[in-house]
Amino acid sequence: MAIEPRMWRELGLTDDEFQRVVDTIGREPTPTELAMFSVEWSEHCGYPRSRTLLALFPKTGKYASRVQGEDAGGVEVAPGLTVLFKMESHNHPSQVEPFQGAATGVGGIIRDIFTMGARPIAVLDPLRFGDLDEPLARYLLRGVVNGISFYGNCLGVPTIGGELQFEEPYRGNCLVNVMAVGVVQTDKIATSRATGENNPVMVVGNSTGRDGIGGASILASHEFGEDEEKRPTVQIGDPFTEKCLIEACLEALETGAIVGMKDMGAAGLTCTTCEMSAAGEHGMDIDLQKVPRREADMEPWEMMMSESQERMLIVAQRGREQEVLDIFGKWGLNAVVVGRVTADGVLRVRDDGEVVAELDARALASPPVYQLPAEEPSYYRENQAVDFADLPMPEDMTAVLRDLLSSPNIASARWVYEQYDHMVQTNTVVAPGGDAAVLRLKGYRQGIAVTTDGNGRYCYLDPYLGAQLVLAEGSRNLVCVGAEPAGVTDCLNFGNPEKPDRFWQFKRCVEGLADACRSFGLPVVSGNVSFYNETPDTAVYPTPVLGVVGVLDDVRRHCTAGFKQAGDVVLLLGETHEDLGGTEYVKRIHKRVAGRPPALDLEFEKKVQAVCLDVVRQGLAASAHDCSDGGLAAALAESCIFGNVGARIALGEHAAGVRLDARLFGESASRIILSVRPENADRVKEIAAGAQVPIAALGEVGGDELVVEADGVRRIAAKVAEMQRIWSEAIPSLMQQ
């Protein structure tokens, strides 16, 4: 059958890429081979446009990092115990079909964890949509949350955190990122390598259907055009099958009969067969007629492209096939030997006796690497010169605080996370809603804390600095609960990389993040790149979302953000500067997205975090809370709301030369609010002084309202009950429109 141009173009390959395929294999590909190249060489699977820059990320850090190059990565958090974690995107599918798009995102990321032998213990879901006063944003949010809660709740894996942000650039491309966390004994981590000539190759789990065909090569690797119908490329999830698959895979791994195992996510059979073969420097010979299928008339190329969910490819030890098959049969799952491992490095795909694909596995798994042009966008230099000196000063700062607390970017996300089961498995020590979630590790003194962070607005205004601020905030959130940051996973969400200004944003974000991770001693152990988040109208903000995992020496000694009792002293670690650029205050009150994001001194940031961590670990802190969106005033309000108690604050000489709105609502980095018992205040000040970190006594906890004075004048006075009502009702009220 002759290959026509429309065939490779419909599969997402350019004319140049098709010619590269021909040059690689020395002939014209078969239709099945063409389909396999289209998915494996797509940006979603092969990272041809981003791989060079991703090499900048550090792979080692303070804690021993494990399993580079597998479906997930992690750090050893206690002797012999590794926490594996990874974040991925399901943006395009969720924009097209929010329920299934989000649900299968959860299923897919969890498979990346248990395919390596780890028991999944947590899910986090950073979400971004257009403005919530638009019907489309409400429709997408409702569908995505329903999909996440359906899959995670049915699966019995707690959803313990995430983010919720709303900005106009996400209107045409919502961002649905999902992170999963699991634990495994370090010496029992499984790999995805196919080795051992004549070892059996098995397909286990669900049957193969037409759902998801083209998801990796077309849906996730191109811009959305107008009036395009994409629903057939969205996968369909079955959490009950996945629950059985978790148990069956972990049980099979315990037998020692498994050589390698890999999730059939994006690119399905193509991805697993070629990547496992290439990683193990072997080949495979498989027969598609043996693969369980839902539809009898599927073509070979459809079988190889299908992204049907809840499927795994396993290489078992020869002679132990039945042992493995019996385990999956016990759990009511398909388990079929479909081929064998070969020693020649060739991936052969047969269909009813006919060889429909015969390719060098390493060539298929090694897509070309593109060096794309990067061009600084015109807005960048103009924005760097923005001066807020003439920004009008609001007369009523209490009204500004109320307005900020009602912003969906600051308001309580309870409407979302109350739909998730965050207590299943009984590991959750600190629940969603604060700076970071805390989990116990059963049988260990240690615990872990997990958070996700991102700020597309900062990264749009200054990609290098913005990405570093994201890491700084994520790490700061962890020390506030008493955890030492240990490792990072990323989900890099950007527009079309073939546009030089978009690629410049990506390049600068990666460079900034790599430099910051190296400074913090944090390895990037896993991650995902999501390009082409763009419509004909606009691209999303450049949005690197980070999942950061930290370690608590003793999980019992953790801290939370809410003020605890009257009489506690309120302290502020760090310094306040005139940082208004990119803030929620300037956007919401002054209707502008402009200015340079808050300045960041990485060495100073590390000192602030070290002081906070020391104070929490010594049991000196009653509360600790990061200052971020909405600045100092919003952070104080949240600590009052969390603790259901007021505070009397006098800024005094703190930041006396800074304009008032920046003192209250500016988002200067490297600041943490502490509350401590009066008898501990001097000791905390000594620790800060020893680290050369400024610390200011702001006031004390007590009463039923937040009062903030500056320059001897009462600037804010708000009842805690009123703030709590505004903060908690904002999103539910918008969702009822």
- Taking Cα atoms as reference points, which of 200, 193, 301, 216 lies closest to residue 265? 216
Phi then psi for 546, rounded to 5 degrees?
-115, 140
Strand 81-89 versus strand 175-185 pairing type: antiparallel
- Is residue 511 a contact partner of residue 446, using CB atoms and an 8 Å limit? no
Strand order in the sheet with 437-440: 428-430, 437-440, 447-453, 543-552, 484-493, 524-530
Give CA torsion, residues 390, 395, 399, 404, to 10 deg: 10
Please, how many CA atoms are within 13 Å of residue 597, restricted to the half-sphere of its CB?
A: 22
Contacts of 682 (CB under 8 A, 6+ apart): none
453, 127 Cβ separation under 8 angstroms: no
CB 633 within 8 A of CB 583: no
DSSP string, 328-380: HHHTT-EEEEEEEEESS-EEEEEETTEEEEEEEHHHHTS-----------HHH
Provide DSSP, 425-446.
Answer: GG-EEE-TTSS-EEEE-TT-S-
558 has catalytic annotation: no
What single-letter DSSP state applies at residue 72?
-
Pairing of strands 647-650, 705-710: parallel
From the candidates 90, 222, 422, 558, give the one annotated as an active-site residue: 90
Among 512, 488, 509, CA closest to 497: 509
Residue 578: CB atoms within 10 A of its CB come to 18
Backbone dihedral angles phi then psi of residue 33, each to the nearest 5 degrees: -65, -40
CB 405, CB 726: distance < 8 Å = yes
Give the burial string for 232-243 (b: 16+ CB within 10 Å, else e): ebbbbbbbebbb
CB-neighbour burial class of residue 390 (10 A; exposed 0-12, middle 13-18, buried 19+): exposed
Nearest CA among 425, 439, 423 for reference residue 478: 439
Dihedral through CA 84, CA 456, CA 541, CA 664, nearest 10?
A: 170
Burial of 80 (0-12, 13-18, 19+ CB in 10 A): exposed
Residues ≥6 apart with Cβ < 8 Å to 36: 270, 274, 301, 304, 305, 357, 359, 364
Could you tell me the sign of the dihedral formed by the alpha carbons of 581, 587, 590, 593, in that order?
A: positive
Given the structure tokens 């700061």, which residue do they identify? 476
Of how many residues is the chain composed? 737
- Based on the residue annotation, tell me whether 44 is a catalytic residue of this protein: yes
Name the residue among 249, 279, 290 with its Cα closest to residue 70. 279
According to DSSP, the residues that pair with 573 across neighbouring strands are 672, 695
| Rounded-to-integer distance, Cα 439 and Cα 115, Å | 22
Out of 44, 558, 577, 625, the active site residue is 44
| Residue type at position 634 | A
- Give yes or no for a contact between 491 and 177, defined as CB atoms under 8 angstroms apart: yes
Q: Which residues are catalytic?
A: 44, 90
